[in-house]
C-alpha cells in the first residue's frame, strides 16, 4: 500500500462540491457541446483495478430521473488520470463516445499506469468538467497490508447512507459491493424517503431507479474515494430470482426480457469493464483480481446460473421443510461452467489470502421446528448443499492458503467457521466466513438470530439489529475484520461505531474474537 495519505474529508469536499475546482483540459474536440445544467449529477467512479489499469465511470445525465435528459446524439467525453490532485502530471488520457445506446454512460479503461499507487481522474464533455475522483491501482507485489470494505443491500427508502459517508472518510484500498445495489420493490417499515414509482420492468425504468440511488451524495462520495469491485444479487432484477425463474414473473421468456433490461442498466451505472457488457439477458461478471502477493479476490455470480429453487413447487424460495430435491447432486448455485472456472482459479493461487466474494451466507443456518423438523432457506446455500460441498472440496483439494468467504444479503452480521459437513462441529474448519449486514435494508428479528446461533454450530457470531458494513485488513500474520455499525439508519448524520472485531490467523482457518 502506498504511504501517501490524504485528508479524506478535505479531498471529498474539494472534489465533489463543484466541477469548477478542476483546472482546464486541453483543446476542445469536435463540435461544441453545451449543457444548461450540470451533466455529472450521478458523480464519478472507478473500479476493477489491475496493476496497470483501472476502469473510469461517469454518466452524462443533466435530468437524471428523466432517463438522463440527454439528446439521442453521441457526445465525445475526454478523460484524464493524473499523479497529483492538481492534474499537473498527467499519467493517461483519452476520449470516449458516450452514446444513447448506453444511456450516455462512460466506461474508460485507463492503461499504462503504475502498480500500487494513488491516481486522480476527471472527465470533460464540452466545457463541463466533472468532479475529481480518486483511485488506486493494484499492487504488483511486496505489499505489507491491504484494507478493503465490503457492503450490500441498500434499500433507498428504509434509511440514509450514513454508512457510506463514514466509509468515504476511511483509509481503504478498495470497496467490494456484494449485491442489492438497488431494490426493485418497496418494502419494510418507517420509510425516510420514497422510490416514487412502482416496480421497474423496462430499461427506462431501471435507468431511473439507478439514477435515484446514485443521486445520493454519500454514495457518490464512497465511489469517488476508492475503486470498487461489484457483483449483483437478486434485487437488481427481481426478488429471489434464480436463472430464468421468478416467482413474480412466471413466464421465463417475459422474465428474461426484464433481466436483459436490468443487466444493461446495472452495467450502465457501475464501473465495469467492457467484458461485463450484457448480451441480451446474459452477462459475465464473475472474475479474478490479484492484489500483489497479499490477496487473490474471486468474485462470484450466484444468481444468473443457479438451479431452480428446491422444495417450493415454483413458489417463493423461503424457509421450508427438507425434501429429496434439495440434496440432488446435480443442483448448482453457480452453474457448472462457473464451478469449473472457480476450481481452476483455486489452482492458480498466489496470494497469502484468498477471498471468495459472493452474495449471501455460505454457512448452514437451518431453523429448528419442533413439529416439522429442520427448515432450510431455499434461496441461499442451504438450498444447494452439494454445490457448497463441491466448492469447499475444491478449496481442500488445491490446498488454498488462508481461504476467507465474504457475503451479504442476510441483513445481519455473521462470523462462521465453514466445514464440509455442517452437522459435525468437531470436523476440521476449511475456511472462515464473514457476512456484513445491510447498508440500510431492514434486518431479521433478534429472536431469529439467537435461534440461528443456538441451532447451527458453524455460526460463531450473529447480530441482526444493526445496519452498516465491514472492513477487512490483511497482512502477513492475520486477517482482521471489523463490523462497523450505524447508530441510527434513519438519521442521515448518524455516527458509526465498531460493533465487533474478529481475527483469522495465517495458517489457521478459524474465526477468533479479537
Q: What CATH number has the domain bearing residue 74?
A: 2.60.40.380
Summarize the confidence of residues 452-464 as an average pLDDT.
Answer: 94
pLDDT band at 329 (very low <50, low <70, confident <90, very high): very high
Same domain, 164 and 131: no
Lookup: cell for 309: 429453487
Q: What percent of the chain has pLDDT over 70?
A: 93
Strand-pair partners of 54:
110
| DSSP bridge pairs for 106 | 58
| Interval 189-199: pLDDT, tens | 999 999 999 99
Residues 395 and 505 in one domain: yes
How much of the chain, in percent, has pLDDT values that exceed 90?
A: 88
Top pLDDT among 5 and 321 is at 321
Residues 96 and 170 grouped into a single domain: no
Domain assignment present for residue 2? The answer is no
pLDDT band at 15 (very low <50, low <70, confident <90, very high): very low
The answer to whether residues 452 and 505 belong to one domain is yes
Residue entry with cell 482459479: 345
Q: Among the three residues 79, 102, 136, which one is the final residue of a domain in this structure? A: 136
CB of 78 closer than 8 Å to CB of 33: no
Give me the CATH number covering residue 273: 3.60.21.70
Q: Judge whether 97 lies within some domain.
A: yes
Q: Residue 133: beta bridge partners? A: 121
pLDDT at 289: 98
- Same domain, yes or no: 124 and 160: no
What Å distances lie between residue 131 and 18, 45, 56, 123, 466, CA to CA?
Answer: 6, 10, 13, 8, 32
Answer yes or no: is 148 within a domain.
no
pLDDT at residue 22, as a whole number: 43
Please indicate, yes or no, whether residues 350 and 207 belong to a single structural domain of this protein: yes
- pLDDT value at 28 more than 60: no
Alpha helices in 308-384 (DSSP H): 336-347
CB 181 within 8 A of CB 125: no
For the segment 467-495, what is each residue's pLDDT rounded down to a tens digit? 999 999 999 999 999 999 999 999 999 99
Q: What is the mean pLDDT of residues 277-283?
A: 98
Q: Is residue 141 part of a domain?
A: no
The kind and range of the H/E element at 287 are strand 287-291
Nearest to 406 by CA among 397, 398, 415: 415
Inter-CA distances, 55 with 44, 271, 321, 467, Å: 11, 6, 45, 29
Domain check: are 256 and 401 in the same one?
Answer: yes
H helices present in 289-367, as ranges: 336-347
| Domain of 292, in residue numbers | 153-513
* Domain identity same for 203 and 349: yes
Whether residue 374 contacts residue 422, with contact meaning beta carbons closer than 8 Å, is answered with no
On whether residue 292 sits in a domain, the answer given is yes
> What is the pLDDT, as a whole number, of residue 31?
54
For 112, 254, 273, 293, 298, the CA distances from 136, given in Å and listed in that order, are 13, 41, 16, 16, 19
Residue 416 lies in a domain: yes
Angle between helices 203-214 and 252-269 (to 10 degrees): 40
pTM of the model: 0.95
Which of 136, 167, 185 is at the close of a domain?
136
**pLDDT for the residue numbered 446:** 85
User: What pLDDT shows up at residue 30?
Assistant: 52
Residues 321 and 244 in one domain: yes
Residue 288 grid cell: 479474478
In total, how many domains does the chain have?
2
Place of cell 458516450: 98
As a whole number of angstroms, the distance between CA 202 and CA 497 comes to 40
Domain-located, residue 142:
no
For residues 205 and 70, state if they share a domain: no
* C-alpha torsion sign, points 109, 110, 115, 119: negative
| Closest-CA residue to 404 (of 457, 461, 358, 458) | 358
Residues 157 and 132 in one domain: no
Residues 317 and 421 in one domain: yes
Residue 147 located in a structural domain: no
**pLDDT tens track for 148-193:** 999 999 999 999 999 999 999 999 999 999 999 999 999 999 999 9
Residue 98 above 50 pLDDT? yes
Amino acid at each position: 500500500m502506498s504511504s501517501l495519505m490524504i485528508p479524506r474529508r478535505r479531498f471529498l469536499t474539494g472534489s465533489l462540491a463543484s466541477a469548477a475546482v478542476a483546472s482546464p483540459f486541453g483543446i476542445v474536440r469536435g463540435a461544441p457541446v453545451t449543457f444548461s445544467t450540470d451533466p455529472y449529477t450521478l458523480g464519478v467512479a472507478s473500479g476493477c483495478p489491475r496493476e496497470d489499469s483501472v476502469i473510469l465511470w461517469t454518466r452524462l445525465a443533466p435530468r437524471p430521473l428523466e432517463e438522463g435528459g440527454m439528446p439521442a446524439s453521441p457526445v465525445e467525453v475526454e478523460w484524464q488520470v493524473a499523479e497529483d490532485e492538481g492534474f499537473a502530471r498527467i499519467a493517461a488520457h483519452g476520449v470516449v463516445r458516450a452514446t444513447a445506446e448506453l444511456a450516455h454512460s462512460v466506461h474508460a479503461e485507463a492503461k499504462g499506469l503504475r502498480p500500487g499507487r494513488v491516481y486522480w481522474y476527471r472527465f470533460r464533455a464540452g466545457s463541463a468538467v466533472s468532479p475529481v475522483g480518486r483511485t488506486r491501482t493494484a499492487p504488483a507485489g511486496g505489499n505489507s497490508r491491504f484494507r478493503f470494505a465490503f457492503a450490500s443491500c441498500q434499500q433507498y427508502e428504509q434509511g440514509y447512507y450514513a454508512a457510506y459517508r463514514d466509509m468515504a472518510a476511511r483509509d481503504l484500498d478498495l470497496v467490494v459491493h456484494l449485491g442489492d445495489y438497488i431494490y426493485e420493490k418497496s418494502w419494510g417499515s418507517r420509510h425516510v424517503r420514497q422510490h416514487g414509482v412502482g416496480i421497474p420492468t423496462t430499461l427506462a425504468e431501471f435507468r431511473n431507479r439507478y439514477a435515484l440511488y446514485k443521486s445520493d451524495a454519500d454514495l457518490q462520495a464512497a465511489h469517488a474515494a476508492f475503486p470498487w469491485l461489484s457483483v449483483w444479487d437478486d434485487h437488481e432484477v427481481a426478488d429471489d430470482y434464480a436463472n430464468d425463474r421468478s416467482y413474480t414473473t412466471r413466464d421465463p421468456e417475459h422474465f428474461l426480457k426484464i433481466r436483459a433490461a436490468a443487466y444493461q442498466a446495472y452495467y450502465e451505472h457501475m464501473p465495469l469493464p467492457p467484458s461485463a457488457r450484457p448480451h441480451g439477458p446474459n452477462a459475465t461478471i464473475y472474475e479474478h483480481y490479484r492484489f500483489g502477493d497479499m490477496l487473490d479476490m474471486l468474485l462470484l455470480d450466484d444468481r444468473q446460473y443457479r438451479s431452480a429453487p428446491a422444495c417450493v413447487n415454483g413458489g417463493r424460495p423461503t424457509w421450508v421443510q427438507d425434501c429429496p430435491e434439495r440434496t440432488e447432486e446435480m443442483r448448482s448455485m453457480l452453474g457448472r461452467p462457473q464451478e469449473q472456472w472457480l476450481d481452476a482459479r483455486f489452482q492458480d493461487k498466489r496470494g497469502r489470502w484468498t477471498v471468495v466474494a459472493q452474495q449471501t451466507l455460505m454457512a448452514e443456518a437451518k431453523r429448528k421446528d419442533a413439529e416439522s423438523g429442520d427448515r432450510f432457506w431455499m434461496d441461499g446455500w442451504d438450498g444447494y448443499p452439494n454445490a457448497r460441498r463441491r466448492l469447499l472440496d475444491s478449496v481442500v483439494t488445491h490446498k488454498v492458503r488462508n481461504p476467507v468467504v465474504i457475503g451479504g444479503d442476510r441483513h445481519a452480521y455473521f462470523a462462521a467457521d465453514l466445514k464440509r459437513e455442517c452437522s459435525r462441529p468437531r470436523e476440521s474448519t476449511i475456511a472462515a466466513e464473514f457476512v456484513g449486514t445491510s447498508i440500510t435494508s431492514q434486518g431479521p428479528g433478534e429472536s431469529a438470530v439467537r435461534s440461528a446461533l443456538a441451532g447451527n454450530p458453524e455460526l460463531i457470531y450473529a447480530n441482526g439489529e444493526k445496519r452498516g458494513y465491514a472492513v477487512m485488513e490483511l497482512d502477513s500474520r492475520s486477517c482482521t475484520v471489523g463490523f462497523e455499525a450505524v447508530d441510527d439508519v434513519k438519521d442521515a448524520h448518524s455516527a458509526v461505531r465498531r460493533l465487533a472485531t474478529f481475527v483469522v490467523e495465517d495458517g489457521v482457518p478459524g474465526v477468533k474474537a479479537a
